[in-house]
Every structure is written in structure tokens, then in C-alpha cells.
């Protein structure tokens, strides 16, 4: 198909509804959609034909690594039948033909201006228009400016000394000559072992007389097992393509797949290996990283995959030194994009192929004749740069984009991209990005994410037309909230630990921030839909139809909390308050049965201590370090009704390790069998006994703190008041984790969070009803916030969670303590719910809160010294985020 150009004369001075930059998967579909909605649109493309990344990346072996059935458009159902992929993973030429076919079928080329590069785009406030200038001197105006420029389209500028000196041929995988390259008889160097290097190296080796691979970071790669489209997959797809596509849209990565809940160490080593082998044999890029639920977040779990993969390398590559050099070390599986290959490792068994490990001998310089490393000189006829891209932000800031008041986008993003939903950026009205930074994009099947963005943008423009609105822009509040959410999500994964292009770490000088959104295609899509359903939350509109803005932040829950709540909803668990006490206890025990155990401690011993009405069971945890240690007396949660020594076991282990303290977890009497004030009296008796028996328990006399969660936090607070009033024992500090401090169920946090966040108002009422008569609830022993005098109490850390009905009473207690002169600190955990903090290794986003608790306890003990002195009174009231 001969390429047709939109003629310059047709563009000059034209006023379009929309200018789209880029004619790859994104630009083509954007054009099609906009056209079908009647928007006058032109696409500007620097290449001389459609294809985007598939136009440029013509290196030998280039093919997709998401199966072609998935890596294809869904918007045109006829395509499903009229286009049949010849292979499971189609080659670059076939994908390019496919895009050409789509362009032909929908007659897209007539609105594409080829061989033209956009140089600048400037917003004009007065006319509410973008002024777009190209390298051909076109000046055109448009209401909406859309960058569909791709995430990996700007090759990284070579950052190797002497790059210009080489007199032989140089090639870039991302800018491969259309006529192809014949390496026969040549001495060839390939620099880089990312996806492009790993795909091209086996094929270059087939031609070259000598091939030398310069590897800085070995990558994880496994066989693609390419071949015909798998029959089973094709049958599933053909049976109901629409259902298949719908499942893809609501999947984690844009390919239909069940999310597993199984944790790595919850199965035997044999079972684990079998699962890994199965994933390996599948040839599916996503299979291995989704084998277990915690591989993306847990270091030890991830390391099991890393070692599995290293063993595979060792089993293929015959020379042990080369094998070892090819084994990835120092980054977790999946934190740099893994690869699938055809004969990659086998290539290193060929006698004319050698590997140079740049970690041992870095490149010193490129010379006229080859490459000098720190120890050797190599001569080459050709050098292939497979050195990657300035990912995600590079192609966008390559254009001089200027928003309101001439603000430069490159400047705004100097410390990292700031977007709302990866779609727009504040201060740049009517400017959209397709799969921009802060959207799932590169962590997903790109075609699914592209279609979702294109559909969203088109719907937004249509909405504006209907409502007679000219200008749309995200608010700074929404943008800051989204950035926070993107970072929060990344921070509970292992991604930030790697020097990857996801982190911008491959480009010297680029800010180190996590660029895509890791929350998943499904959640992201729901978020974008929610934004629309809430009146375009976080967007401000203006125009003849009137100005409007529903400002706010979407997705304020931490990602792992959100996941857990979704799961609970899916399971349809009964509300606890509808159960009998026995059933409620059995139910909560069952829920706790399959959770991570928490960290290893030195030893754990169960015992009994004398309580006011008989013996009370306790469990003592000793740290793995040499004692004696300070002691924390711990009170579990469960509304005075539920819970026991097992319920908070992982949290106690965590406290023991983080505070480096003996933890004595006390099983006080429960309601309704023993109502108020039994739990408080038991708590106080336990503290007295522990203080008196500190040495026997492995503790240091006088260095004793209390800690409790929820109702346990209530007991801990009350015990401190009782100890003060009784003149001892001395308590070095109190950590109250989302404590009950008052019986008032009408506070704002109850109103806002009383439903949907596990601890509900109804459940809290149920707890109180079982525990205390209404009149008793007002007593300080039940509602410590009601004590007349809070002075002279031990220093405190009060932890509250944003989406907890108990949030405000915890905060009120911290404030009241501080007002009474107590050294009290309030730690507010952003995006967390009542049950987050004790959920060790489940709610990873609360890990920093657990760190702070450990640090606070150590601080209490340090201040107390060996003498059990109270810390000086310091009143602080700060709410810091948990992550
Ligand atoms: O680029 P990369 P890519 N000296 O950045 C090395 C997609 N893609 O083009 O890791 C020496 O991954 C660099 O080393 P290090 C896919 O998403 C998909 O291969 O920075 N070495 C690395 O080894 C992929 O992830 C497909 O230490 C230098 C390599 O060059 C993304 O595009 C195919 C160096 C660059 O690897 C990018 O892949 C191809 C230097 N100065 C690409 N600078 C499929 O669909 C860089 N390197 C299959």
C-alpha cells in the first residue's frame, strides 16, 4: 500500500478539533474513534507510514512478547475473523502488516500527515486553542492536542564514550534499516541485553562470523516456545471473542488470567518448583510472575524465582563461567521487564559467540575500530546498540509542550512526571496522553490499555461537546493525590529496588521515580470510570455551558487494603455482628488461619500468670538477639469479645523483632462471659505480674512498655491510667494502635467510615453491648478519653488509620494526652483501615507504621534507661503518612 500524505496545503493554518501525534496502535485507533464521533482530526507522524514502534523496530527477531491474539485491537469485531495470526508471537513484519491492514480498512491514512515531526505545541488561553508547529513549517491550531507517541519510542542517546569514533557500521535496534542488514562474515558487537538484545542476538549470531555480546546487567529470560497459535487458546477466543476481550479489560495486565491468592511459602518446595516449571514451560511472559500472589512484593518469595531462573541458565549454557555471568544477580525477577526468547542462552554455546561481562570489565571507550574495555581491545566491523529507550516521558517532553502562561512541560516534569490518571497534567488544558506516565501502560498488554485511554478521551470530548464545554484540565489536588497513589502502589512492590527504565534509571540524569501505575488494568479502568461517574472528579471544565469542577482525590485507600476489601466482598462474608458469639469467634479464627506467620523470633513460650479471677494464659516472645531485653506487654484486639493469643501472633512477632523486646501477649478475659471491667483489671494484673517477674521472663526490670490494638489499645491505655493511680508499676511508654478510647459512636470518623472498612459501626455497637452497660461505658476504665486527669501518664504513640471509625477518638486521645503534658505523638496512617497495622505481610503498605511502632518502643526504653524513668514531656501532634 503506497503511503498517502495529507498535503501541506491542507494543513497550513487549519483549525482542527484534534491533533494527534503518532500513528502507531494508539494514534490509529484515536483517529478512528474521533472520526466516528465527528471530530475533525489530523494525525502527525514522523515516519513515512503507520506502525509506530512496529515501524521502527525492524531488528532481526523483533516480535511481540504478549500473544498476538491478545496483542490486537478489539474495537472492530470483523478483525477477529478477517485477520488470522500465523504465529503465537507474531513477527514485527506481520504486526506492521496488521496495522497497515487496519489503516486501509478504515481509510485512516488520508488524515495522517507522514514524514512530519511535531516540534512544539503551545496553549493559547485567549482562543482556548493549541498551536502546533511541525518540522515542515506547518502551523496548525486545534482545540485538543493528543500525544499518542508511545512509551518506548525515543531511543536513549548513546551514553558510551567514543560513540562517534567508530568507523564501521553502527545500528540501533530501535531505528533498524528498512532494507535489513547482512552480517555475513562480519565481526559484530551487540551492546545491551534487554528485550531487543535478547531477541536479536540469536539471529545476528546465525549470520555473523564472530559475535561479541556486551552485557552490563544480565536479564531474566526464558523460552517463548513460539509456534502456531495454541489451539486451546484459539478455541477459547473463537468461542466468544467478546467475552474474552471483556475478561482482558478486567484483568491485572490486559490478558485474561485468574489472580492467585496462594503465597510462595504456603506450599512445599516441591510444589513450588512444579508451579515454576509449569509457568516456564508455558512460554507465557506473565505466567511466572503471577505464579504466587506475593512474588512482586516479598523479597524472599521473589528470590525463589530468581534462583529457579538461574538454574535454568546453568542447565543450558555449557561453559560454567559464561553461565554464571549470564545469571541475573542484584535485581528481583520482574523488576526489570523479563524477556521471552528463542535460543538466547543456547547461542552462547556457539564457538563464535562470546560474552563480555561489563560488570567485570566496563567499556572504557568506543574506538575507530572497535571497543576498549577496562582490560581488552576488541575489533569489529559493526556495532549494534540495543541500549534501550528514554521511556515514557522521553517522547512526550521531546516536543516543546507549553501550557498555561507558557509553562514548559519538560520543566514541570523535571523532578518526574506529574499526571492525573496518566491522561492529563494540570496547567496543560485540553492536552491528553495515551498511556502516559501514571497509567498501567507498559505493565500491561499495551493494546488493551491504549483502547481504554482512547475510549476515555473520546467520551470526555463528546461529553464536553454535549455540555458545551471548551476546556478541561485536572486540578492540582487530583493530580497530587494521583501521584501519591501511584507512588504508594509502587512502594509496596519490589519495583523501586531495581535500576530499570520503569524507574528512569537507565537514562543518566533522569529523575528516579516509578513511571507506570502498578495497580492493574482492572482497577485502573474502574478508577477512570469512577472518576467519570463522580462528575469527572478532579477535573475542571469551562466553556459556554458554564464552569464546573468536582475536586477531590480518587483512590485514597492503599492498594493492598483495596485488594483485601474487594476480596472480602467477593467472598460475601457475613457481618460478624449477625453471628452468635461462638460463631463469631470460630469465624474470626478461621479467617486468621491462612495468613503469613510474621517474622522468626528467638523463641516463643506459652504460660499462665495469676489474674484477679484465676490464671490468665500468656505467650512470651523473645527476640533472636542476646538478652536481657526490655518488655512489651501486649493486648490483642477483638472488641473485648474475640481474639486471643493466636489472633495477634504475627503482630507480636513483628513487635518483638522491631522493638528488639520481649513481648508478653496476655489473654485477658473476654466478654460477654466476663464483662467490664474484667478485661481492664486483667490487663493491669498482668502488667504488675510481668513487672515483678521481668528477669524470669528474660527482661530488664524497669524497662516495660504496653501496647495494644483496638480493644487491646483500650486496655493498654486504661492500664497506664491504673498504674499511674496505683503508683506503679512504672511504664516506660504506651503504643495504642487504633485504640477504642471512647464510647461515642457519632464522631465524624464513624459517620464517614462506619460501613465497608471491616470494622463497622454496627460491629462496634455489638462489641460495646457485649462488653459494658451503657452507664459503665462512660467510666475512664472503659473510655479512657473521659478521664478527668491525663497528666503523668507514660509517653505515648497513638496510631490511627484514615478509614477507621475509631480514627477520631484515637486522635482525640493523643491530643488530650498532649494537652495534659504527656509526651504524646499521633501517627495517622493514610489510606489504611482499622485492621491494617497488625496485618503483618498482608497489608504491606502499613509496614512503615509497624517500623515506627518498633522505633517508638525502642525510644521509650532508651529514655527510660535501666531505671524505668519516664521520658520528658513532649507534646507533639503530628499525623504522618504510613508510607
Ligand atoms: O531496552 P532495555 P530494550 N553500556 O532498556 C544496556 C520493550 N520491548 O530495547 O540493564 C552498556 O530493556 C542495558 O543495560 P542495563 C520492552 O518493554 C519489547 O531491550 O541498563 N550497556 C540493557 O541491557 C523492553 O523492556 C519487545 O545495565 C548499556 C540494554 O542496554 C523495552 O522495550 C522487544 C548501556 C537496554 O535494555 C526496552 O527494551 C523489544 C551502556 N551505556 C523491546 N546503556 C517485545 O515485545 C544501556 N545498556 C518482545
The residue nearest atom 19 of ligand 1, judged by CA position, is 194
CA distance 680 to 686: 10
Q: Tell me how far the alpha carbon of residue 508 lies from the centroid of ligand 1, in angstroms.
A: 14
DSSP assignment letter at 456: H
Strands (E), 447-553: 471-474, 539-542, 548-549
Q: What is the mean pLDDT of residues 120-140?
A: 97
Q: Tell me how far the alpha carbon of residue 696 lies from the centroid of ligand 1, in angstroms.
A: 59
CA distance 58 to 178: 7
- Lowest-pLDDT range, 639-643, 729-733, 864-868? 864-868
Q: What pLDDT score was predicted for residue 13?
A: 73
The residue nearest atom 11 of ligand 1, judged by CA position, is 216
Q: What pLDDT score was predicted for residue 876?
A: 35
Evaluate the omega torsion of the peptide bond into residue 729 and state whether it is cis, within 30 degrees of 0: yes
Ligand 1 site: residues with CB under 6 angstroms? 64-65, 152, 159-160, 173, 191-197, 199, 216-217, 337, 358, 363, 386-389, 442, 501, 506
Q: Tell me how far the alpha carbon of residue 611 lies from the centroid of ligand 1, in angstroms.
A: 65
Write down the residue that cell numbers 482482558 correspond to: 248
Closest alpha carbon to 643 in 621, 663, 617, 661: 617
Ligand 1 pocket test, pick from 96, 190, 387 with the greatest ligand atom count within 8 Å of Cβ, gives 387
Closest alpha carbon to 427 in 460, 457, 471, 392: 471
Half-sphere exposure of 234 (CA within 13 A, CB side): 14
* The ligand 1 atom nearest the CA atom of 387: 30
Q: Tell me how far the alpha carbon of residue 498 lies from the centroid of ligand 1, in angstroms.
A: 14
pLDDT higher than 90, residue 881: no
Quickly state the pLDDT bin for 724 (edges 50, 70, 90): very high
Q: Tell me how far the alpha carbon of residue 201 lies from the centroid of ligand 1, in angstroms.
A: 13
The residue nearest atom 47 of ligand 1, judged by CA position, is 387
Q: What is the mean pLDDT of residues 696-708?
A: 96
Quickly state the pLDDT bin for 239 (edges 50, 70, 90): very high
Q: Give per-residue pLDDT as tens, 250-292.
A: 999 999 998 899 999 999 999 999 999 999 999 999 999 999 9
pLDDT higher than 70, residue 350: yes
Q: Tell me how far the alpha carbon of residue 549 lies from the centroid of ligand 1, in angstroms.
A: 42
Q: What is the mean pLDDT of residues 378-390?
A: 98
Provide DSSP, 761-775: HHHHHHHHHHH--HH
Q: What pLDDT score was predicted for residue 7?
A: 59
The residue nearest atom 45 of ligand 1, judged by CA position, is 64
CA distance 388 to 411: 24
Q: Tell me how far the alpha carbon of residue 234 lies from the centroid of ligand 1, in angstroms.
A: 31
Q: Tell me how far the alpha carbon of residue 447 lies from the centroid of ligand 1, in angstroms.
A: 21
Q: Give per-residue pLDDT as tens, 646-662.
A: 999 999 999 999 999 99
Q: What pLDDT score was predicted for residue 158?
A: 87
Q: What pLDDT score was predicted for residue 868?
A: 37
Closest alpha carbon to 52 in 79, 31, 33: 31
Q: What is the mean pLDDT of residues 387-412?
A: 98
* The ligand 1 atom nearest the CA atom of 173: 9
Q: Give per-residue pLDDT as tens, 596-606.
A: 999 999 999 99
Q: Tell me how far the alpha carbon of residue 504 lies from the centroid of ligand 1, in angstroms.
A: 12
Q: Tell me how far the alpha carbon of residue 197 lies from the centroid of ligand 1, in angstroms.
A: 7
* The ligand 1 atom nearest the CA atom of 192: 30
Q: Tell me how far the alpha carbon of residue 69 lies from the centroid of ligand 1, in angstroms.
A: 25
Q: Give per-residue pLDDT as tens, 34-89.
A: 999 999 999 999 999 999 999 999 999 999 999 999 999 999 999 999 999 999 99
Q: Tell me how far the alpha carbon of residue 196 lies from the centroid of ligand 1, in angstroms.
A: 6
Ligand 1 pocket test, pick from 94, 358, 495, 506 with the greatest ligand atom count within 8 Å of Cβ, gives 506
Q: What pLDDT score was predicted for residue 6?
A: 58
Quickly state the pLDDT bin for 873 (edges 50, 70, 90): very low
Q: Tell me how far the alpha carbon of residue 445 lies from the centroid of ligand 1, in angstroms.
A: 18
Q: What pLDDT score was predicted for residue 447?
A: 98
Q: What is the mean pLDDT of residues 17-43?
A: 98
The residue nearest atom 29 of ligand 1, judged by CA position, is 192
The helix (H) or strand (E) run that includes residue 810 is: helix 807-819
The residue nearest atom 1 of ligand 1, judged by CA position, is 388
The residue nearest atom 24 of ligand 1, judged by CA position, is 195
CA distance 39 to 510: 37
* The ligand 1 atom nearest the CA atom of 388: 1
Q: What is the mean pLDDT of residues 514-526?
A: 97
pLDDT higher than 90, residue 706: yes
Q: What is the mean pLDDT of residues 469-480?
A: 98
pLDDT higher than 60, residue 323: yes
* The ligand 1 atom nearest the CA atom of 339: 48
Range 511-515, long-range pairs (CB < 8 A, 24+ positions): 511/414, 511/415, 511/416, 513/415, 513/416, 513/417, 513/487, 514/486, 514/487, 514/490, 515/391, 515/392, 515/393, 515/417, 515/437, 515/438, 515/442
Q: What is the mean pLDDT of residues 436-454?
A: 98
Phi, psi of 785 (to 5 degrees): -65, -20
- Residue 495, C-alpha cell as written in the block: 519495583
pLDDT higher than 80, residue 231: yes
pLDDT higher than 80, residue 626: yes
Q: What is the mean pLDDT of residues 141-156?
A: 97
Q: What pLDDT score was predicted for residue 505?
A: 97
Q: Give per-residue pLDDT as tens, 802-833.
A: 999 999 999 999 999 999 999 999 999 999 99
CA distance 217 to 221: 12
pLDDT higher than 60, residue 883: no
Higher pLDDT, 10 or 851: 851
The residue nearest atom 7 of ligand 1, judged by CA position, is 195
pLDDT higher than 60, residue 587: yes
DSSP assignment letter at 259: P
Phi, psi of 548 (to 5 degrees): -155, 150
Quickly state the pLDDT bin for 162 (edges 50, 70, 90): very high
pLDDT higher than 90, residue 867: no
Which sign does the torsion angle of CA 8, 9, 11, 12 carry?
positive
Amino acid at each position: 500500500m503506497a503511503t498517502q500524505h495529507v498535503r501541506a496545503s491542507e494543513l497550513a493554518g487549519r483549525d482542527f478539533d484534534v491533533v494527534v501525534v503518532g500513528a502507531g496502535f494508539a494514534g490509529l485507533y484515536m483517529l478512528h474513534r474521533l472520526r466516528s464521533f465527528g471530530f475533525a482530526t489530523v494525525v502527525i507522524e514522523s515516519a513515512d507510514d503507520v506502525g509506530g514502534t512496529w515501524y521502527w523496530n525492524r531488528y532481526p527477531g523483533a516480535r511481540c512478547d504478549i500473544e498476538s491474539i491478545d496483542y490486537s485491537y478489539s474495537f472492530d469485531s470483523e478483525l477477529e475473523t478477517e485477520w488470522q495470526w500465523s504465529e503465537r508471537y507474531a513477527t514485527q513484519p506481520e504486526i506492521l502488516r496488521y496495522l497497515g491492514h487496519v489503516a486501509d480498512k478504515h481509510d485512516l491514512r488520508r488524515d495522517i500527515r507522514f514524514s512530519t515531526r511535531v516540534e512544539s505545541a503551545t496553549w493559547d488561553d485567549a482562543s482556548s486553542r493549541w498551536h502546533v508547529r511541525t518540522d515542515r513549517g506547518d502551523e496548525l491550531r486545534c482545540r485538543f492536542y493528543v500525544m499518542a507517541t508511545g512509551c518506548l519510542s525515543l531511543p536513549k542517546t548513546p551514553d558510551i564514550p567514543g560513540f562517534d569514533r567508530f568507523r564501521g557500521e553502527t545500528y540501533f535496534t530501535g531505528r533498524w534499516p528498512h532494507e535489513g542488514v547482512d552480517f555475513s562474515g562480519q565481526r559484530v558487537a551487540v551492546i545491551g541485553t534487554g528485550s531487543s538484545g535478547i531477541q536479536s542476538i540469536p539471529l545476528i549470531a546465525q549470520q555473523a562470523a564472530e559475535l561479541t555480546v556486551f552485557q552490563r546487567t544480565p536479564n531474566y529470560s526464558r523460552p517463548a516456545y513460539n509456534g502456531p497459535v495454541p489451539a486451546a487458546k484459539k478455541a477459547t477466543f473463537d468461542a466468544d471473542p467478546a467475552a474474552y476481550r471483556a475478561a482482558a479489560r478486567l484483568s491485572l495486565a490486559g490478558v485474561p488470567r485468574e489472580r492467585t491468592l496462594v503465597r510462595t511459602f504456603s506450599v512445599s518446595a516441591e510444589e513450588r518448583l512444579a508451579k515454576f516449571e509449569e509457568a516456564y514451560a508455558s512460554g507465557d511472559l506473565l505466567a511466572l510472575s503471577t505464579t504466587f500472589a506475593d512474588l512482586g512484593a516479598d523479597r524472599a518469595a521473589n528470590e525463589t524465582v530468581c534462583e529457579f531462573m538461574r538454574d535454568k541458565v546453568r542447565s543450558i549454557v555449557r561453559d560454567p563461567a559464561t553461565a554464571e555471568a549470564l545469571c541475573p544477580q542484584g535485581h528481583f525477577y520482574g523488576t526489570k521487564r523479563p524477556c521471552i526468547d528463542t535460543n538466547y542462552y543456547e547461542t552462547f554455546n556457539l564457538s563464535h559467540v562470546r560474552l563480555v561481562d561489563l560488570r567485570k570489565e566496563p567499556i572504557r571507550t568506543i574506538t575507530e575500530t572497535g571497543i576498549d574495555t577496562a582490560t581488552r581491545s576488541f575489533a569489529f566491523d559493526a556495532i549494534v546498540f540495543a541500549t534501550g529507550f528514554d521511556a515514557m516521558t522521553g517522547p512526550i517532553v521531546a516536543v516543546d509542550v507549553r501550557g498555561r502562561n507558557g509553562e514548559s512541560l519538560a520543566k514541570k516534569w523535571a523532578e518526574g512526571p506529574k499526571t492525573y490518571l496518566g491522561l492529563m497534567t494540570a496547567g496543560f488544558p485540553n492536552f491528553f496522553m495515551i498511556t502516559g506516565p501514571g497509567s498501567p501502560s507498559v505493565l500491561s498488554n499495551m493494546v488493551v490499555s491504549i483502547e481504554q485511554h482512547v475510549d476515555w478521551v473520546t467520551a470526555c470530548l463528546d461529553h464536553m461537546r454535549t455540555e458545551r464545554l471548551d476546556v478541561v484540565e485536572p486540578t492540582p489536588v487530583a493530580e497530587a493525590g494521583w501521584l501519591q497513589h501511584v507512588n504508594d502502589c509502587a512502594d509496596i512492590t519490589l519495583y523501586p529496588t531495581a535500576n530499570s527504565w520503569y524507574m528512569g534509571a537507565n537514562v543518566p540524569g533522569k529523575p528516579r521515580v516509578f513511571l507506570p501505575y502498578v495497580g492493574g488494568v482492572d482497577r485502573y479502568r474502574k478508577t477512570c470510570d469512577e472518576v467519570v461517574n463522580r462528575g469527572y472528579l478532579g477535573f475542571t471544565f469551562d466553556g459556554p455551558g458554564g464552569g464546573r469542577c468536582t475536586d477531590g482525590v480518587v483512590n485514597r485507600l492503599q492498594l493492598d487494603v483495596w485488594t483485601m476489601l474487594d476480596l472480602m466482598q467477593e467472598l460475601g462474608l457475613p457481618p460478624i455482628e449477625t453471628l452468635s458469639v461462638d460463631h463469631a469467634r470460630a469465624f474470626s479464627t478461621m479467617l486468621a488461619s491462612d495468613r503469613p506467620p510474621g517474622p522468626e523470633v528467638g523463641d516463643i513460650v506459652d504460660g499462665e500468670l495469676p489474674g484477679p479471677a484465676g490464671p490468665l494464659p500468656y505467650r512470651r516472645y523473645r527476640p533472636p538477639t542476646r538478652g536481657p531485653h526490655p518488655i512489651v506487654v501486649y493486648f490483642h484486639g477483638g472488641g473485648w469479645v474475640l481474639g486471643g493469643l493466636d489472633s495477634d501472633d504475627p503482630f507480636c512477632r513483628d513487635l518483638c523483632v522491631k522493638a528488639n523486646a520481649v513481648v508478653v501477649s496476655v489473654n485477658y478475659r473476654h466478654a460477654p462471659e466476663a464483662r467490664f471491667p474484667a478485661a481492664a483489671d486483667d490487663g493491669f494484673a498482668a502488667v504488675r505480674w510481668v513487672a515483678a517477674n521481668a528477669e524470669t521472663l528474660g527482661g530488664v526490670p524497669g524497662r516495660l512498655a504496653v501496647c495494644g490494638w483496638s480493644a487491646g489499645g483500650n486496655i493498654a491505655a486504661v492500664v497506664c491510667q491504673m498504674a499511674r493511680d496505683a503508683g506503679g508499676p512504672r511504664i516506660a511508654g504506651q503504643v495504642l494502635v487504633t485504640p477504642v478510647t471512647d464510647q461515642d459512636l457519632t464522631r465524624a470518623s464513624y459517620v464517614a467510615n462506619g460501613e465497608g472498612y471491616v470494622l463497622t459501626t454496627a460491629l462496634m455497637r455489638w462489641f460495646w453491648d457485649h462488653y459494658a452497660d451503657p452507664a459503665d461505658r462512660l467510666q475512664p476504665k472503659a473510655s479512657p478519653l473521659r478521664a478527668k486527669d491525663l497528666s503523668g501518664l507514660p509517653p505515648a504513640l497513638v496510631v490511627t488509620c484514615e478509614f477507621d471509625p475509631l480514627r477520631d477518638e484515637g486522635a482525640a486521645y493523643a491530643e488530650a494526652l498532649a494537652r495534659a503534658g504527656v509526651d504524646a505523638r499521633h501517627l495517622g496512617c493514610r489510606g489504611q483501615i482499622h485492621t491494617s497495622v497488625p496485618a503483618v505481610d498482608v497489608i504491606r503498605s502499613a509496614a512503615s507504621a509497624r517500623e515506627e511502632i518498633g522505633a517508638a518502643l525502642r525510644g521509650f526504653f532508651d529514655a527510660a534507661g535501666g531505671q524505668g524513668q519516664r521520658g520528658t514531656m513532649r507534646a507533639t501532634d503530628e499525623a504522618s503518612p504510613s508510607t
